[in-house]
Structure 1
Amino acid sequence: MSRRVVVALLGPVTWSPPGVEPARWRTALAEDVVDLLAMLNEVETAVAVTPADRWLADAVVWPGTTVWEVPVPTPDAVFAALSRPGPASVGPGAATGDDQIPGYDQAAVVAADAPDVPGLTLGKLLRPLSSRPVAVAPVEGGGSGLLGVAARLPAPRWLPALDLDTTTPAQVRAAAPHPGDVAVTAGWHRLRGPADLRTLDPAVEGWEATRALLSGRPG
């Protein structure tokens, strides 16, 4: 059976709602995504951060969660780290940070500013890897950027430099030997500006930290 992992990439967040301190906003978004990942079945989960943002990972991960430190906050850097066996750090509450982590067969890297994304949407990102080397989930509503990207490991050499904020599915497909090598799966919205707040559905369960911050309740 393939060993699969879904990684929340805790990259920079350049916007926060008026009156909300940026670090608190970023932490709430990351907490909700990490909590969602912890509920997924049949996959391992982890987070990835740059060394400067290790504080954020330690603030939101569950005890024992694997934390990968990467030089830059990009899917490429995460895929490279996951492709090679080696020591990995762990979140608070684990016994050691020196465990040897075997390489994974498949990995999905997802943005940490989609606090209400359904688990089924993330599952669909991994599903095409049984027959294709790469899958991407677009940001719902059009525009640039990706919700996430998944790949068989090691990632194909033709995979272009990936930026979850700017890369489009068309760019990834254009780099592939054949466009069909890249599956485009269901998208979802991300919270990257004031207009995106309207996409949140209060009736949907989850995203408790983000919900509390937006409603003015103590976090």
Structure 2
Amino acid sequence: MTASDRRVVVVVVPGTGTWAPPGRDPEAWRLALAEDTYEVLAALDRVDVAMAVAGDEGAVASVGALTWPGTPTYAVDPARPVLHAVELAGPAAAVVAVSHDVPDLPGLLIGKLFRALAHADVAVTPAEDGTLAAIGVNVPTADWVNELAPTFDTALTDLEARKPRRHAVAVGPGWHRLRSNVDLARLDPGLEGWDATRSILRHS
């Protein structure tokens, strides 16, 4: 596979535990979400998967232990984790960075982002809380995208305001991130997957 048709998906994980449900360990929760999100993406066809950690080498090691052998895992700059992850992904036609807290994300949504990047500089999956669940970047990265350096906390309105032409930003179907107790209600117990997250929720 050449760089002109290589597609990469990178799970971007914060270096330390963030929010966790009451009574759950934030570090265990962070790793469970990252593991389940990785498993969703590792099952996709015709993509290479990597893990990027916004933290030190110790944080990288704990995340790398969740992956299949051969999965690249590397540290990225916490100030620009998405674009740094894109840069470290290696030669590719497009890279999609996915937030670690979408353990039940349908893989189909990632495919939609890659298709949109055929004509857009950036393609995103908006989250219901106003943030972004995934950010796809066409390679080489457009100058305006480098200047904005979007993260998962970047508002969609900011992307729309900065785009230099009408179709520079493509918006895919939305999804939800797990960032509060309210978000937990969106998990469907009847769906297969998100096993690590499910295990944490079952046990205090």
Shorter-chain TM-score above 0.5: yes
Unaligned runs of 5+ in 2: none
Distance in 2 separating the partners of 1:50 and 1:193:
21
Indicate if the aligned counterparts of 2:60 and 2:74 stay in contact, CA closer than 8 A: no
Partner residue of 1:149 out of 130, 135, 141: 135
Counting only pairs closer than 5 Å after superposition, residues 1-219 of structure 1 correspond to structure 2 as 2-11=5-14, 12-52=16-56, 53-72=59-78, 74-82=81-89, 102-139=90-127, 141=128, 143-159=129-145, 160-164=148-152, 166-216=153-203
Percent of pairs with identical residues: 38
- The alpha-carbon deviation at position 16 of structure 1 amounts to 0.4
SS at match of 2:96: strand
> Structure with the greater relative contact order (CA < 8 A, sep ≥ 6): 1 or 2?
2
What whole-Å deviation, never above 9, does each CA across 1:68-120 have from its counterpart, x for those lacking one? 321226212212323xxxxxxxxxxxxxxxxxxx5112100000001111111
Normalised by the length of structure 1, the TM-score is 0.84
- The alpha-carbon deviation at position 13 of structure 1 amounts to 4.6
Deviates further, 70-79 or 187-196:
70-79
Normalised by the length of structure 2, the TM-score is 0.89
Query: Would you say how many aligned residue pairs link Structure 1 and Structure 2?
Result: 195
Unaligned runs of 5+ in 1: 83-101
SS at match of 1:195: helix
SS at match of 1:192: coil
Indicate if the aligned counterparts of 2:125 and 2:173 stay in contact, CA closer than 8 A: yes
Indicate if the aligned counterparts of 2:121 and 2:169 stay in contact, CA closer than 8 A: yes
Distance in 1 separating the partners of 2:42 and 2:84:
22
AA aligned opposite 1:29: L
SS at match of 2:117: helix
Deviates further, 129-138 or 104-113:
129-138
